[in-house]
Amino acid sequence: MKTMKLMISGLLLVLAGITHGQVEVRVSAGVIPPWAPAEAVGVRYYYLPDIEAYYDVNTANYIYFSNGVWVHAGHLPPGYEHYDIYHGYKVVLNDYHGERPYDNFKVHRRDYPKGYNNHGHEQKLYRDRDKHEEHGDHR
């Protein structure tokens, strides 16, 4: 009987661990912000050239360089509190590995300088993606 109780307890612990793991995966998936580019599905990081910062979808944090360190914060960098993120250009990143998109900061800053707007084309936003599809606008 004692062996049976131990087996059941062990099984419950294993199941609890599996369930806990599934919850963590869902939580870390992140929510795409409405200001993200329309093609943003499945993207974790964006680079924001105008403010030389990143956005992490999974943590809903901006990442920016301040006082010699990369800061992760739920708000825009100091001095950019009134920045219009809906109209600023966002670069979808896929050239990173792990948790540090800023490892490529020099390249991002060079390839996407402040004021970058992809040759004058207005960037379609994630919040508006269904509107474009409804009107047959697939540009």
CA 74, CA 15: separation in Å to the nearest integer? Answer: 34
Looking at residue 26, its pLDDT comes to 33
Residue 92: which H helix or E strand, with range?
strand 91-92
Angle (CA) 138-134-37 rounded to 5° is 50
7: pLDDT strictly greater than 60:
no
Q: What is the mean pLDDT of residues 52-68?
A: 96
Lowest mean pLDDT among 59-63, 93-97, 135-139: 135-139
* Percent of the chain clearing pLDDT 70 (strictly above): 69
15: pLDDT strictly greater than 60:
no
pLDDT bracket for residue 64 (50, 70, 90): very high
Lowest mean pLDDT among 16-25, 33-42, 63-72: 16-25
pLDDT bracket for residue 52 (50, 70, 90): very high
DSSP string, 11-68: HHHHHHHHHHHHHHHHHTT----TTSBTT-TT--EEEEGGGTEEEETTTTEEEEEETT
